[in-house]
Amino acid sequence: MEYVRHPDQPDITDIRLVDGVFIKQMTFRHAGMFVPQHAHAYDHLSFITAGAVRVWADDRLMGEFQAPTPIVIRARVKHRFQTLAAPTTILCIHNADRAENDEDVVIHEEHHLEGV
């Protein structure tokens, strides 16, 4: 499959709250966009607040999810999202107290899509 970088990238906002809660908010204006595969060092919650997504975990389809719905993502599980509706907003909610070296979120493994 060949990927093409969409000229209209998602809006991304990092939010740090009290008690170690860190939220990465991603809003996609188009269907068919991807969040590249990555894994975190600990469990976290991805909450679909608007729209719909298809989700893969360790390259196996988890399913399709419509807002509003939370999705538990386990530690060290490579996961990626594809938007199925426009707009779609995903909140990735982390316990940043688990972070190392003052990072907001520990990325265990990250993969980038190769595109044209």
pLDDT at res. 108: 44
- Domains by residue range for the chain, with CATH: 12-96 (2.60.120.10)
In terms of Cβ atoms closer than 10 Å to its own Cβ (0-12, 13-18, 19+), residue 53 is buried
Predicted confidence (pLDDT) per residue in 9-50, tens digit: 889 998 888 888 999 999 999 999 998 888 988 899 999 999
In this prediction the pTM is 0.79
Radius of gyration of the chain (CA): 14
Instruction: Record the tokens describing residue 54, joined without a space.
Output: 């298809």
Give the pLDDT band (50/70/90) at residue 98: low
